[in-house]
Amino acid sequence: MYLVRNVSVCEYGRKLLISRQFIDSRVVYCPVDVKTFRPIDGMARKKRVICIGNNFKNRKVMGYDHLIDIITRIHAISPEIEIGVIGKNDPADYPEYVDVRSLNKEQMVNEIASSSAVFFTTTRNLIMNSMQIAMSCGKPVVAFDLEPFREVIRDGESGFLIQCFDTHSFALKLVDIVMNRYEEVGRKAREIIVEKCESSKVASQIISVIDR
């Protein structure tokens, strides 16, 4: 209970806790194993974009309606772009041209490394661990412009934030990333995750909260 009262996993959560319960807390981001989730040199870059999810029963958490719209738009603009959805999903829920799979950790690293970009369509105010992992792997990330995401994604610098519900611009940005190279954006994304979320740093932060 002590930790729950004094730790938030993002600055947005900290502000929310203050506004609703008048309790301040220490911001400690969820940890990422940056040694496992890292860029892989020499991995061929495919004309492929992937969405990581859904591990929630509630499809709204994933932004399923927006996901289908974005997928359809990408395919209409550039049918040659491969689209993958990684997680616990029923292939019947998706168009036949979408690759729907569930992967283990090692497979996930390779899947991210061989893709051009990773995208997330949720409109819920939470920083997903899968987003942190994709950034740790040095990939450009595209998501809707939500306040928590701004803590790890600097638009145009370490990722791309799209106005909420603008699925057309969202799809165009993914096509743009596939057709052009954004290695510097991916490098900056990894730097931010190493700085904020590296496992040993997070462990030290938690220990400091317990010991204070």
Domain that holds residue 183: 32-197
Pairing of strands 98-101, 160-162: unpaired
Of residues 53 and 41, more confidence is placed in: 41
Q: Does some domain include residue 131?
A: yes
Residue 159 dihedral angles phi and psi, to the nearest 5°: 160, -170
Pairing of strands 7-8, 117-120: unpaired
CATH number of the structural domain spanning residue 149: 3.40.50.2000
Query: In angstroms, rounded to a whole number, what is the distance separating the alpha carbons of residues 105 and 190?
Result: 18
**Per-residue model confidence as pLDDT tens digits over 86-126:** 988 888 889 999 999 988 888 999 999 999 999 999 988 88
Q: Does some domain include residue 175?
A: yes
Instruction: Give me the mean pLDDT over the 50-68 stretch.
Output: 75
* Upstream peptide bond of 58 is cis (omega within 30 degrees of 0): no
- The residues, ordered by sequence, that sit 6+ positions from 33 with a Cβ below 8 Å of its Cβ are 199
Q: Are 127 and 151 in contact (CB under 8 A)?
A: yes
What percent of the chain has pLDDT above 70?
93
Q: Does some domain include residue 63?
A: yes
- Identity of residue 81: I
Q: Does some domain include residue 74?
A: yes
* Number of independent structural domains in the chain: 1
Q: Does some domain include residue 152?
A: yes
Q: What is the pLDDT of residue 2?
A: 45
Q: Does some domain include residue 202?
A: no
Q: Does some domain include residue 205?
A: no
Q: Does some domain include residue 26?
A: no
Q: What is the pLDDT of residue 66?
A: 93
- Tokens for 30? 């969820």
**Mean residue pLDDT across the chain:** 90
